[in-house]
Amino acid sequence: MNPALSAERITAQMKAQDIAVEIVQQTVSTNLDLLNRIRAEQIDGNTLLLAINQTGGRGRNGRHWYADQDHSLTFSLAWRFSRPVHMTPGIPLTAGIAMAQALARCGVKVQLKWPNDILKNGGKVAGILTETPDSRHDHWAVIGIGINLHLSDAMEKTIGQPAADMPWLAQMNRNCLMAILIDSLAHHLRLLDEKGFDSLASVWNNLHAHHLKPVTIVQGSKKLMSGRALGIDQEGRLLIQTGKGIETVISGDVSLRTGQEI
């Protein structure tokens, strides 16, 4: 039987010792909890909050994140950067790199879909949501991550879109797995803070799931452009080869759809 998640056991296996690890049995949203604590100045330093059961997890554009408490991991990391977050582009992309490399270390190969999805064999296996509290706390970012370890048939029907899981990791010691994920996240966020995203852009491009594939960019129900995805530039903007030339897409309320999803 997989041992219960324990903040003490996770911390003991982590290399990063400047992150406080907390576990709650249930909450609406770990992102929201940490954002509120930052706004209330009730946080002392980098903090990871992991929920056994998250009832109101969110993805981009307010979408609900469906999670099975027995077969998924839902957690958020509050991270303080050395400069304002608006001067630090590429946070969700960096988190994607960190998760991909950590999962590869555990024997699972994944790819990245711009700007914040992690794919395995074309299905979404994890998602990332980065949020900032307010202008008074502009050095802080909260990075929320949801990972599917095992999907039941019922959960796949509930999700209603191509999804994937990692049954092998579902058997792995969860405390060890969390330590690997957190260490990778901390390492890459430090690189981002110290050297900027241009030092990581080529790494992201090597993991790009849709390189040179035809894609359509939409905002809500509105189609913005179609073309071939070329990857990202040094600031994390998606480059699309269209009939008008190379156009850039800035992260925001914009979704990328491949031909199969249109």
Considering the domain 7-205 in this protein, what is its CATH number?
Answer: 3.30.930.10
Residue 34: burial class (beta carbons within 10 Å; 0-12, 13-18, 19+):
buried
Domain ranges of the chain: 7-205, 210-261
Which class is domain 210-261?
A: mainly beta
- Please give the pLDDT value at position 163: 63
Q: Rounded to whole angstroms, what are the CA distances from 39 to 44, 59, 140, 184?
A: 12, 21, 10, 27
Global model pTM greater than 0.75: yes
Give pLDDT, residue 1.
54
Looking at residue 251, its pLDDT comes to 58
DSSP state for residue 248 in the 8-state scheme: E
Confidence (pLDDT) at 2: 72
Tens-place pLDDT, residues 231-244: 999 999 999 999 99
Question: What average pLDDT values come out for the chain (262 residues) when binned by 10 residues?
Answer: 87 95 94 97 96 74 55 93 94 97 94 93 91 95 92 53 71 94 98 95 97 88 88 95 93 62 54
Spatial contact of 41 and 140, defined as CB atoms under 8 Å apart: no
